[in-house]
Amino acid sequence: MEVLLQVLIGGVLLGGLYALVAFGLSLIYGVARILNFAHGTLLAVSGVLASLAFTAWQLHPLLIATLLGPMMFVFAYGYYHLLLRPLAKRSHFESTVGTVLVTVGTLMILSDLTAKAAGATQRNIPLRMPVIEYGDIIISTTQLLILAGIVALTVIMHLLLKHSWFGRAVRAVTQDAVGAQICGVQSTRIKAMTFAFGSATVAIAAVLYVLSFPVDPYMGFSLTVKAFTIIVVGGVGNLPGALLAGVFLGVAEGLTGLYWKPEWAPALSVVAMLVILVAYPKGVGVKT
């Protein structure tokens, strides 16, 4: 019973983190029409960096997150302008394959360089925090911290999207980039900002991730696949949908590990994605 509960709690947390990663990817896809294959790798790299920063300087995870987020924002902003924006001008086929090659190339470079610099081993942040015992159930404060982080990030993103000029612009560009441009939204800038914003979210989610789950330089792509599955289920640009789908996937993976074999868990998301795509070729909850 306790094992099952622990698995469920772990699944919910993991799923919440998946959802954050997925939501960043989905914002970027909705606004800039870019499927960033390196999106999950950003979490892997940020996670390794966070872990290194923690072991080297004993920085508090919160501080690491506040440092990593803006750093990733700047990096992604420049990356978009330098490598992805020019592809938008090309023909449909060329911009599709061009985007794939650029982002997959990035994925390979980031993974390889991170592995060279920090080793290909699994890492995390071994933060020692007290546990809360409630009868049979043991809840670690780390898990509570992660949960609080997920909730805070979700609320911030929701408020930002619904009640700020940036959010309105993002939603406008998602629906019709040219239309938004005619109404005075600088589409290119919004696309770059969204790309940077989505990537920064991942960096912050990465810090929460390494607090409880191990990261390694090569885990990124399977995470991207999971994120994409979540988008397909939850709908492009749909935050509640992403959360629901993410938690569902996280728990399902946990249960697969518990009742069957953990090594099959990575196959789950791919199969789920394929099955769902076959049933709903344009995604389930398409909504912005």
Q: Residue 237 corresponds to which tokens in the numbers above?
A: 């640009």
Integer CA distances (angstroms), 233 to 49, 219, 249, 277, 279, in order: 31, 22, 10, 9, 11
Rounded CA-CA distance 135/35 in Å is 46
> Which of 6, 248, 288, 23 is closest to 150 using CA atoms?
23
Does 278 participate in binding other proteins (rule CB under 8 A)? yes
Report the residue number, 83 or 147, with the smaller CB distance to other proteins: 83
Judged by CB under 8 A, which of 63, 78, 90, 137 binds other proteins?
A: 90
Report the residue number, 54 or 195, with the smaller CB distance to other proteins: 195
Contact 172, 53 (CB under 8 A): no
Report the residue number, 71 or 83, with the smaller CB distance to other proteins: 83
Rounded CA-CA distance 38/31 in Å is 17
Q: Residue 191 corresponds to which tokens in the numbers above?
A: 């696309």
Segment interacting with other proteins, rule: CB under 8 A, options 7-15, 16-24, 164-172, 277-285: 277-285
Segment interacting with other proteins, rule: CB under 8 A, options 120-128, 173-181, 188-196, 217-225: 217-225
Q: What angle do CA 32, 284, 257 make, to 5 degrees?
A: 100
Does 284 participate in binding other proteins (rule CB under 8 A)? no
Judged by CB under 8 A, which of 228, 234, 238, 241 binds other proteins?
A: 228
Rounded CA-CA distance 286/251 in Å is 23
Kindly write out the interface string for residues 33-72 of this chain, putting x where it contacts other proteins by CB under 8 A and - elsewhere.
x-x-x-----------------------------------
* Binding stretches for other proteins (CB under 8 A): 29, 33, 35, 37, 83, 86-87, 90-102, 104-109, 111-113, 116, 221-222, 225, 228, 232, 261, 263-264, 266-267, 270-271, 273-274, 277-278, 281-283
